[in-house]
Structure 1
Amino acid sequence: MAKASLIWLLLSILYIASTANCASTATRSSSRASNFIKASCSATTYPALCVQSLSLYASSINQSPRQLIQTALSVSLDKAQSTKTFVYKLTKFKGIKPREKAAIKDCFEEIDDTLDKLVKSVKELKSMGSSKGQDYQWHISNVQTWISAALTDENTCVDGFAGKALDGRVKNSITARFVHVERVTSNALALINKFGSKY
C-alpha cells in the first residue's frame, strides 16, 4: 500500500513538473514573439498601432518575418473590407448633399481598388512559398507596388472631402476609417520593406 502511494506521489510530482515546464516554455515563446513584433514594428510609421494590431496574432507569427508580413497584410485587408461595407451603406443613405454623395461614390471606388490590390498582395505572398533570391525579390516587388498603389487610393478618398463645404459627420466618419486603413497599410508596407531585402 505504501509502495503504491509512493508511486502515485512520484507520478503526481512528475506530472506537475512537466505541466509547469510546458507552461514556462509557452510563456517564453509568447514573450519572444511579442518582443519580435515590437522590434519589427519600430521600423513602421505607426509603431503603437502596429504592435496593437499584430499582438493578437503573436502565437501564429512567432518569430517568422514572412508570417509577420502576411498577418500585417491580412489586418489591412480586414480593415479595408469593413471600410468598404461602411461606405457602401453610406451610398444608400437619404438626405446626403449631392457633393457628399459624389465624394462617397468616389471613396467607394477607391476602397474597392484598395481591396483588389491587397487581395493580390496576400495571394502573391502565399504563392511564393519557399522562394529565395531573385524569385523572392520579384514577388516582394509586386507586393510593394500594389500596396503603394493601395495607399494612393486611400489618400485619394480623403482628398475628395477637402474643403469646408464637405465638413460634417459624413466626412469625419469616412476620414477616420480611411486614415485607419491607410495607417495599417502603411505599416504593412514598412514591414515588407524591412524584411523584403533579407531573403
Structure 2
Amino acid sequence: MDSLKMFKGYGKIERDHNGIEDQQPNPKSQISKPVITTTISVFAILSITLTLAFAIASIAHHQATESQHLSNSADSIRFVCNVTRFPAACLAAIPPSANATDPQTILALSLRASFHALQSLASSLRGTKGGALADCKDQFDDALSRLNDSLSAAAALTDKAVSDVHTWVSAAVTDQQTCLDGLEEAGDAAGLEKMKKMMTRSEEYMSNSLAIVANIRDLLSHFNMKLH
C-alpha cells in the first residue's frame, strides 16, 4: 500500500511539474513590441538619411559641374579675346554667360555683336537725306550686308569660309572709315567728331572680329580643333 501511495504521489508531482512548465511563456513565440517599434524607426531614419544624402550629393555635383563649365567658358573667351586689339570690348561683347568654349563659337558671337552695334548706329541715321551723313548710311548698310554674310560663313568654318569672313569684315571696317573720310572732306568737323564717338563700339567690335578670324587657325589648334 505504501508503495502504491508512493507511486500515485510520484505521478501527482509529475503532473504538477508539467502544469507549471505549461504556464511558462515560450521565448520564441513572443517578441517585445518596443523592440519592433524601435527597429522600424531605425530603418525609417536610415532611409530618410540616405535619401537626403543622395539629394545633397546630386545638387553639389550639379553645381560643381555648372561652375566648372562657366569657368571653362570664361577662360576660353579670355584666351581668344587676348589676340584682339580691344580685349575689354571683346569681353563685354561676349560675356561668360554665353557659355562659349571654342574659338568658332566666340568668333560667331563677336560677329553678331559687331552686326548689332553697327545696326544700332545705322538706325540713328534713318531718314537722313543728302550730304555726307546720307553717304554714311549707305556705307553702313553695305557693311551690315557683309557682316551678315560673315555670320553665315562662320557657322561652318572651312579654309574658304575663313578667307571670305576675313575679306568681308575688312570691307565692313573700310566702309566705316569711308564714312569718316566723307565727313572730313565735307568739312563737317562737328559731325565728324560726333560720328567717331558713335562709331566707337562698332569699330572696336569689328576690329576684334577681324583679329579673331585672322588668328582662327592658331586658336583652333590651341583647343585641339581644326577647320571643317
Shorter-chain TM-score category?
A: 0.7 to 0.9
**Residue 134 of structure 2 is aligned with which of 101, 105, 121?**
105
Instruction: Provide Cα deviations, 1:1-20, integer angstroms capped at 9, x if missing partner.
Output: 33223211211111111111
Equivalent residues in 2 for 1:30-109, closer than 5 Å: 30-55=70-95, 57-59=97-99, 61=100, 63-88=101-126, 91=128, 102-109=131-138
Q: Within the alignment, does 1:174 sit opposite 2:174 as a pair?
A: no
Larger RCO, structure (CA 8 Å, separation 6 or more): 1
Q: Within the alignment, does 1:155 sit opposite 2:177 as a pair?
A: yes
Which TM-score applies when normalising by structure 2? 0.72
Q: Which residue of 2 aligns with 1:118?
A: 147
Q: Check whether the contact 2:73–2:96 (CA below 8 A) recurs between aligned residues.
A: no
Instruction: Provide Cα deviations, 1:49-80, integer angstroms capped at 9, x if missing partner.
Output: 11111115531x1x211111111111111111
When residues 77 and 196 of structure 1 are mapped into structure 2, their CA distance, relative to the original with a 3 A threshold, is farther
Which secondary structure state, in structure 1, belongs to the residue aligned with residue 107 of structure 2? helix
Deviation (angstroms), 1:160: 2.3
For the aligned residue pairs, the C-alpha RMSD in angstroms reads 2.0
**Matched residue pairs, number?**
180
Q: Within the alignment, does 1:6 sit opposite 2:35 as a pair?
A: no
When residues 46 and 33 of structure 1 are mapped into structure 2, their CA distance, relative to the original with a 3 A threshold, is same
Q: Which amino acid aligns with 2:77?
A: I
Instruction: Provide Cα deviations, 1:147-192, integer angstroms capped at 9, x if missing partner.
Output: 1000000111122222795233x44443222232111011011111
When residues 55 and 119 of structure 1 are mapped into structure 2, their CA distance, relative to the original with a 3 A threshold, is same
Q: Check whether the contact 1:34–1:58 (CA below 8 A) recurs between aligned residues.
A: no
Q: Which amino acid aligns with 1:102?
A: G
Q: Which amino acid aligns with 1:11?
A: T
Instruction: Provide Cα deviations, 1:64-102, integer angstroms capped at 9, x if missing partner.
Output: 11111111111111111111111115x27xxxxxxxx51
Taking the aligned partners of 1:56 and 1:120, their CA distance within structure 2 comes to 26
Q: Check whether the contact 1:158–1:178 (CA below 8 A) recurs between aligned residues.
A: no
Q: Which amino acid aligns with 1:188?
A: S
Q: Within the alignment, does 1:137 sit opposite 2:127 as a pair?
A: no
Gaps of 5+ in 1: 93-100
Q: Which has the larger radius of gyration?
A: 2
Q: Which runs of 4+ in 1 moved over 6 A?
A: none
Q: Which amino acid aligns with 1:37?
A: I
Further displaced range: 189-198 or 22-31 = 189-198
Further displaced range: 10-19 or 189-198 = 189-198
Gaps of 5+ in 2: 1-40, 221-226
